[in-house]
Amino acid sequence: MTVKIKDIAKKLDISVGTVSKGLNGASDVSYELTQLILDTAIEMGYKPKKMQNKEHKHLCIFITNMDFKSENDFGYDIILGFKQHAMRDGWNVHIEVASHELQEKNNYDTYMLSKGYTGAFFVGFALDDLWLQNLSSTKTPTVLLDNYVPRNFNVSYVGTDNFEAFDISIEYLKQLGHTRIGFFSAFLDSVVSKDRYEAFLKAMQHHNLQIDENILGFGHYSSNSAKYHIPKMLEHKPTAILCSSDSMAYGAIQVCQQLGLHVPNDISIIGFDDVDLCNHSTPKITTIRQNRLEIGKCAYSSLESIIRNVFINKTSLRPTLVERESVGVAKNSQLFYHTDTNEKK
């Protein structure tokens, strides 16, 4: 049975005209009443005509904490990949910046209904974003980049396989003689930071390498953060440092150089993401590549699955190691000094 405007009107004991105005966001209906009308409409399973009409198929990408407008921005290809796949299937894709204000002023489900969006893709959300906190009970098909909501069938995760990322990096470093491998992690206040930290620990164990807490650091996703953490880590002589992002790797390289260390002759640094910065650093940064175009495409596929009631929980993509100039043979390693040692005998 399809829920109609008059059913909502009856339930709220107000006129059909007022419900209609509320659903369309007319300015002569108060903010509180509009919210009540929308909340009731959602609760009753009302679908506006514009959502039933094939000509009005709308999805939204909500983005926050992330640049996406120019080609080198992290979000650019993610959005592009999503659009490419979604538009092939006849969807209109809208992009909205999910400001703190937007999230605070609007209930997520209510907002989606008022705009006529069938589903959404969340990019760049952190654990303290209000809408992320409210997703455990959302009825709107929603796909999250690097965030996870347990139990709710309408929500799905998409991201790069962090364990495989660290497993590849650590295997590569080990082959070059590195055993004292540090990790410059981001603070564990986001799902992706926690996930990468756990992946680092697991991959170190997988390669039978010891984890030394003295060469672990926890900072921000910015190059500036390195100066507060890298000097302390260097006192304990790591031969390589993995980083949670490319900007953190960039900052780490600068700090090492300021302290008179040569990268990669004295210490190797590996980034994460493969943003444009990697090519503009000296040395160029060896990093783990996330295929952002694929992330966008997968996010659309997952969203489309949920809309068709196929409840995908998680989708992960394969990372690749991009070898540039910031990694070398471990200093003091057998690999490097083997000849020297023999000569001295």
Residue numbers at the binding site for its own copies (CB under 8 A): 150-151, 153, 161, 164, 167-168, 291, 294, 297-298, 301, 305, 310-318
Q: Tokens 């008022």: give the residue.
A: 114
Q: Is 54 or 69 the residue whose CB approaches its own copies more closely?
A: 54
3-state secondary structure (DSSP) of residue 143: strand
Q: Where are the beta strands (DSSP E) in 134-253?
A: 142-145, 155-160, 181-186, 216-219, 240-243
The DSSP call for residue 122 is E
Q: Which is nearer to its own copies, 65 or 316 (CB)?
A: 316
Q: How far is the CB of 52 from its own copies (least distance, A)?
A: 22
Residue 185 CB, shortest distance to its own copies, in Å, is 22
146 vs 126: CA distance, rounded Å:
9
Q: What is the gyration radius of the CA atoms in the chain, in angstroms?
A: 25
Q: Which residues are CB-contacts of 325 (< 8 A; sequence separation ≥ 6)?
A: 264, 283, 284, 285, 286
Tell me which residue has tokens 């198929």. Answer: 57
Q: CB of 139: closest distance to its own copies in angstroms?
A: 15
CB of 297 to its own copies, least distance (A): 5
Residues 241/182, Cβ–Cβ less than 8 Å: yes
Q: How far is the CB of 208 from its own copies (least distance, A)?
A: 17
**Shortest Cβ 152–its own copies spacing (Å):** 9
Burial class of residue 49 in the structure, from the number of CB atoms within 10 Å of its CB (0-12 exposed, 13-18 middle, 19+ buried): exposed
Least separation in angstroms between CB 54 and its own copies: 18
Q: How many residues does the chain have?
A: 345
Q: Could you tell me if 291 and 322 are in contact, meaning their C-beta atoms sit under 8 angstroms apart? A: no
Nearer to its own copies, 164 or 325 (CB): 164
Q: Between the CA of residue 26 and those of 29, 37, 188, what are the distances in Å?
A: 6, 12, 43
Smallest distance from the beta carbon of 37 to its own copies, in angstroms? 32
User: Closest distance between its own copies and the C-beta of residue 165, in Å?
Assistant: 11
Omega within 30 of 0 (cis) for the link into 319: no
Nearest to 218 by CA among 238, 190, 240, 239: 190
Check residue 285 and report its DSSP letter: P
Who's near 135: CB < 8 A, 6+ residues apart? 108, 142, 144, 149, 152, 155
Q: Measured between alpha carbons, how far is 94 from 100 in angstroms, rounded to an integer?
A: 18
